[in-house]
Amino acid sequence: MSDVLISLFRDNTMWLGIWQTVYLTVLSTALAYAIGLPLGVLLCTTGRGGLAPVPWLNKLLGAIVNIFRSIPFLILMVAFLPVAKAIVGKSYGPAAMVVMLVIAAAPYVARMVESSLKEVDAGVVEAAKSMGANPFQIVWKVYLPEAKPSLLVGAVIGMVTVLGYSAMASTINGGGLGQIAIFYGYNNFKDDVIWMCVFFTVIIVQVIQEGGMFLAARTDKRLRAKAGRAKKCGRK
């Protein structure tokens, strides 16, 4: 273990980098879902065959989402530095990085939400319509609950994607493990620093993955029904 790596632990720089990575990932994903979830609902409900078809709005939203999804994150980050400065008052640091991550992740989230909602059984939706439910009630009480396992899986994928994006935070002094790996590892030819950052990144991803999959499994009615049938067969 090199003196540089030891000093990173001793002065808490490594622990701060881990915290900043988790902070950037969780906060950016939450804000991206605050934008992407309603956008995904609109994409699903305003399309052909949706609850409230509005073709021109659906095409407009789809075009905007596709444009932002087609821009590589590094290019998007550089292009939207003025936007970050207008929102948080500066174009560098963790706060600016959150703005970039939300802009990049929200369209991605919108498409995942749209895809999850379209997987909901049409029969359940038709049953809700026949009972007199309006579009808002169907979205809130049918689409979202029925799609919850798929939405949670999408949230895990989205969070891991945001974590990967956050590694580029070093280019605008955004902090996190990516900045430590480049500034203290790559620039000083310290491979052990780089691999330690890789190790902690893998640990964070595994925690996100396992936690998200556990929650998705707990909310999946199909899995619970299978488990119930298995218990009944076991009693017999």
* 45 close to 135: Cβ distance less than 8 angstroms: yes
Query: Greatest CA separation found in the chain?
Result: 70
Return d(Cα 119, Cα 217) in angstroms, integer. 17
CATH architecture of 19-178: Orthogonal Bundle (1.10)
Buried-exposed string 196-221: b where 16+ CB fall within 10 A, e elsewhere: bbeebbeebbeebeeebeebbeeebe
Q: What are the C-alpha distances in Å from 208 to residues 19, 32, 132?
A: 14, 17, 40
| pLDDT at position 228 | 44
Domain boundaries along the sequence of the chain: 19-178
Q: Is the pLDDT of residue 214 over 60?
A: yes
| pLDDT at position 221 | 60
Residue type, position 9, single letter = F
* 94 close to 24: Cβ distance less than 8 angstroms: yes
Q: Is the pLDDT of residue 235 over 70?
A: no
Average pLDDT over residues 141-153: 88
Return d(Cα 2, Cα 7) in angstroms, integer. 9
Residue range 60-94, pLDDT digits in tens = 999 999 999 898 888 888 888 899 889 988 888 88
Q: Is the pLDDT of residue 231 over 50?
A: no
pTM attached to this predicted model: 0.84
